[in-house]
Amino acid sequence: MPYLLTKNLFSNLKTILKVMDTSKMIKAYCLKTKEKNVPMHDAVVTKTAKGGYMAAGNDGKGNKMAAIMSEAKALQAIADGVAKKGF
């Protein structure tokens, strides 16, 4: 029985750490708080009129953020599940 409890606890801990992992998240500059490399939550990648890619989201506190990025980074963020495709 103790083995089962520790196994479930370990799997729950892995799930929590996976949710809190910010290494793959899109990072941007927050104009309101003037912080660099802030992880972007609820990111949506869109295509600009000139063919570039832009991610829009928030910093988790309600402050809106945007970042211009390359096609490779935009498609990688969509593939990783960090951002939604908006184009």
The model's pLDDT over 60-86, given as tens digits with 9 standing for 90+, comes to 999 999 999 999 999 999 999 999 999
Rounded to the nearest angstrom, the gap between the alpha carbon of residue 8 and the centroid of all alpha carbons in its chain is: 27
pLDDT of residue 11: 62
pLDDT at residue number 23: 83
The two counts, helices (H) then strands (E), for the chain are 2, 6
pLDDT-based confidence at 8, cuts 50/70/90? low
Q: In what order do the strands lie in the sheet with 83-85?
A: 64-69, 53-58, 41-47, 83-85
Q: How far is 38 from 42, CA to CA, in rounded Å? A: 13
CA angle 43/24/40 to nearest 5° reads 30
> Per residue in 39-60, pLDDT tens?
999 999 999 999 999 999 999 9
Determine how many CB atoms are found less than 10 A away from the CB of residue 76.
15
Please tell me the predicted confidence (pLDDT) of residue 17: 47
